[in-house]
Amino acid sequence: MIAVFVYGTLLVGESNHFVVSPYLQAVQPGAINGRLYDVGPYPALVRTGDDDHVVIGEWIEVTEEGLAAMDILETYYSPGHPDNEYERTWVQDINGEREGWVYGYTSPRGLPAISGSSWKEHLHQKNM
């Protein structure tokens, strides 16, 4: 199984969860260091290297087919490819007990930062 940290539309109950649900083997809550940015209908994570910013999400375990489906959704071709929207990098949970892949931006690209740690909470406030 392949572990992936998800924090936005791939979360259980969110709009793109259907992309991974056929390949899903397990789901656990988690958090990693980084900061969320609002791209509009979805978030982007930027790894800051700053322990003060935490992103709350889920660790999912998927098959290789599930990872391939996420690569397509996230417009990820290969490391450093010029057409990547996201880069896929290796991360560790803040508690050190879990590690795996995450899709993130390499810079904020001028996007507005999300003040909290949770895309779901941000969406709730945005839709009020």
Residue pair 47/55 in contact by the 8 Å Cβ criterion = no
Ordered structural domains, the chain, with CATH: 2-126 (3.10.490.10)
The catalytic residues are 74
Assess whether pLDDT exceeds 80 at residue 4: yes
Instruction: Report the alpha-carbon distance of residue 10 to residue 29 in Å, rounded.
Output: 13
Assess whether pLDDT exceeds 80 at residue 49: no
Instruction: Report the alpha-carbon distance of residue 24 to residue 95 in Å, rounded.
Output: 23
Residue type, 104: G
**Residues in a beta bridge with 60:** 4, 27
Instruction: Report the alpha-carbon distance of residue 52 to residue 104 in Å, rounded.
Output: 18
pLDDT per residue as tens digits for the range 78-113: 999 999 999 999 999 999 999 999 999 999 999 999
Residues 6+ apart with CB under 8 A from 82: none
Nearest 10 degrees: Cα torsion 25, 99, 39, 75: -70
Enter the pTM of the model: 0.95
